[in-house]
A and B are shown apart, each in its own frame.
Chain A
Amino acid sequence: MAEYQQILDRLYTHLRPMAPQGTTLDEDTDLISEFGLDSVNVMDLLLEVEEDFDISVPLNLLADIRTPKDLACTIIRLLEAE
């Protein structure tokens, strides 16, 4: 779980600058309906995250990524698959 928390913390550093003021953010925040990103914002976020973790996240997986937790789990899966 330590790895999960570290990944989550790294995700927050990418996400926080994108937040409108006063938006709360935790692992279960819905990135679109609660955090206010649109689909292009999410794809652009992915570019940063991919660079940070040195992975490529296929866009096909986006349909199942709604929260930071989903994204962190996807990253762990992709890192393990390497």
Chain B
Amino acid sequence: MMALFDKFNKLASERAELFPTGLSPFETRIEEVYSPTEARIGGRRVLLAGTNNYLGLTFAPECIEAAQKAVEREGTGTTGSRMANGSYGGHCALEAELGDFYQSNSVIVFSTGYLASLGLIGTLAGAQDIILLDADCHASIYDACRLSGAQIIRFRHNDVADLEKRLQRLKKHADNTLIVVEGIYSMLGDRAPLAEIVAVKRRYGGYLVVDEAHSLGVLGEHGRGLSEEAGVATEVDFILGTFSKSLGAVGGFLASNHPESEFLRYASRPYIFTASPSPSVIASTRAALQLLRSRPQLRERLWANATQLYRQLQALGYRLGPEPSPVVATLLGSRQQAVAFWQGLLERGIYVNLVLPPAAPGGYTLVRCSVSAAHTPAQIDIICQAFADLRAILEQPDALVDSHGS
């Protein structure tokens, strides 16, 4: 009778075991949002340290005003796709502004970051092509690879020698290979060794995609991301990005200097067969991009907060991701321990993200904090105090750095 749903049996039993009360961290309800850093969850006012609101722009008056004006002027939705139903002025203006920001000839706006990933990778690579992706790439990239029909080869996370070996094995096929990496990896907060990856690409061939979802507005002198920070922007073939993190809205984009990439508009099903972003979303994104460009101090505050959190948690003896970044991951032990830790933080008024395998790489369980420019140093101290209180939960010594600092 239930054959179709049998595949969920394992999920159901894991859920029942981990969350016996029926309240799962993966179904958190944010009952009211007060600001980029505060909300009400479970009837309690909490500090938000589990958003991707890196620049804290979700309540920026400029963005709200732009969205309000757009909704009054152009309505609530576009009710169709850009190819079938037409592009609004805002779509084209945002593409031009992003083109100016990235110094790219071609920018295509998609309805979400996920769709941008499917729209580029899933369309550009075909059955005769090869995709070499970093093992820790986001699920949207894996899905895009599957959609492409290309040969999919995974290389060890951030391991340039492994990438090189695989390009060597491909020999002449290296020329029709798409190498895919991320600016900042969303779970551990580490960045790709991009200059070395570019050097390998130069030697063997191929095209390079950098997903700057978590690094736009975060890295680089102008906030363009890792490709800017590493000084290799002109050698990155395709930049993917999202409006849903630093820009505080929803949507995605592809920027490229290959003139042929404009053809993706005609070939990319995730561009053609979905509704285009609403006018208000486009308008707030444009306003946020202007703020990102005109206020480098937002980036400075973000990094000051990120470094403060990373250093303090490190001093408490927690095992963290490999480098300070606005994503601060605390590695924990068993799944039960991670759930208890997450709940302990929420009871102390701190909301973070619980991440369990397979969403966390390397079989880790972790709680993921993300820092915002909108956090005050005092709020970062409150987060750290909650972590300090919770050290007792860690019965398993493997979750802490040992006294030799391994």
Contacts and interface: CB of A to CB of B under 8 A. Distances in A.
Bound together? yes
A57 to B, nearest CB: 8
A30 to B, nearest CB: 14
B85 to A, nearest CB: 36
Interface in A4-62: 38-41, 43-44, 46-47, 51, 54-60
B200 interface: no
Contacts of A46: 154
Given A43-B135, A47-B135, A59 B152 contact: yes
Contact of A38 (B152, B154, B358): B358
Contact of A59 (B154, B156, B166): B154
Interface string B131-164: 0000100000000010000011110100000100
A45 B383 CA distance: 37
Given A43-B135, A47-B135, A59 B358 contact: no
B301 to A, nearest CB: 36
Interface in B344-361: 357-358
B152 A60 contact: yes
Given A43-B135, A47-B135, A56 B153 contact: yes
Contacts of A38: 357-358
Interface of A: 38-41, 43-44, 46-47, 51, 54-60
7 contacts: A40-B357, A41-B363, A44-B135, A54-B169, A57-B153, A59-B145, A59-B153
Given A39-B358, A59-B152, 16 more contacts: A38-B357, A38-B358, A40-B358, A41-B363, A43-B154, A46-B154, A47-B156, A51-B162, A54-B165, A55-B169, A57-B153, A58-B151, A58-B153, A59-B145, A59-B153, A60-B151
